[in-house]
Amino acid sequence: MARRFFVGGNWKMNGDQALVETLTTGLNSLDEGLLASRDLVVAPPFPYLTAVRTALNKHIGVAAQNLHAKASGAFTGEVSVGMLKDLDIKWAVIGHSERRSLFAEADETVAEKVGAALAGGIEAIACIGETLAEREADKTFEVLFRQMKHIAQAVSSEAAWDHVVVAYEPVWAIGTGKVATPEQAEEVHVALRKWLSEHVSAAVAAKVRIIYGGSVNAKNCGDLAKIADIDGFLVGGASLKVDDFKTICSAPRA
C-alpha cells in the first residue's frame, strides 16, 4: 500500500505577523502538483491560526499545537476541539515531547486528547519518543510501545486510524542538532509498524503513516525520505526558514 507522504512544520512558540506573512507567501509558491501529491501541514502558535488558515493555499493544512480533551468548561488557557473546528483547523499535534516533559502530560492524557480529537473530527499527529537516558538504558522500544499502547486504546476503530499520523521524535534529537541516523530511524519505524501489525491489525500497520522528527533539515531530509518506512517528517526549527522548509516539503521519495 502506497502511503501518502506527510510533512508537518511545528512553529512552536515562535513568530509574529511578519513571519506569518513570509512563511505563508513562501509556501503558497510551492508547485501545485507537489501539493496534490502529499500532505503538508503547519502548526503556528494559537494567536495566528486564523491568519495562517486564511492566507495559505487550501491544499496546505493547518494544525493546532495542542488541544484540551474536554468540550468546554473552566479550563483557563485551554482550547477545545470544537473551537478548532470552528476556525476550520483540521489537524492537531498531540503529545509532543515538550508537552510531555515541560507540562507533565502523561501517556493517559495524550491518549485522551487523541480520542477527543478523532471524536470531534480533528486529524491527530500523535507524537512518541524516547529520551537519551532511555535510549542509553536500552529502553527505546519499551517506552515507544508503552506510548503506542495508550494511543491505540484511544483509537476507536480501524477506520479511525485513517485520521492518525504517528510522529516518532527521539527526544534527544529535538532541537539539539543531533539526528537519528537513517539506520536508527529505520529500525524504529520498522519496529513500530510491526507493533501495529501485532497489536492492532496488519491492515492498520500497512496504512498508518509513521513520520520522523528530530533536527530534520534541508540537508538530511533527502536521505531520510528514501527510507520506505519513513512516511514524512515533523519539522521544528527548519520550518521557520521558508527556503529550507520548502526543500524539505519537496524531498523526493525513493
Q: What pTM, to 2 d.p., does this model score?
A: 0.96
Cα 130 from Cα 140, distance rounded (Å): 6
pLDDT of residue 179: 73
pLDDT tens sequence across 6-62: 999 999 999 999 999 999 999 999 999 999 999 999 999 999 999 999 999 999 999
Q: Which residue numbers are catalytic?
A: 96, 169
pLDDT tens sequence across 226-237: 999 999 999 999
**pLDDT band at residue 178 using 50, 70 and 90 as cut-offs:** confident
pLDDT of residue 152: 98
pLDDT of residue 1: 59
pLDDT tens sequence across 92-114: 999 999 999 999 999 999 999 99
- Domains of the chain by range and CATH? 6-249 (3.20.20.70)
pLDDT tens sequence across 123-140: 999 999 999 899 989 999
**pLDDT band at residue 175 using 50, 70 and 90 as cut-offs:** confident
pLDDT tens sequence across 206-232: 999 999 998 899 999 999 999 999 999
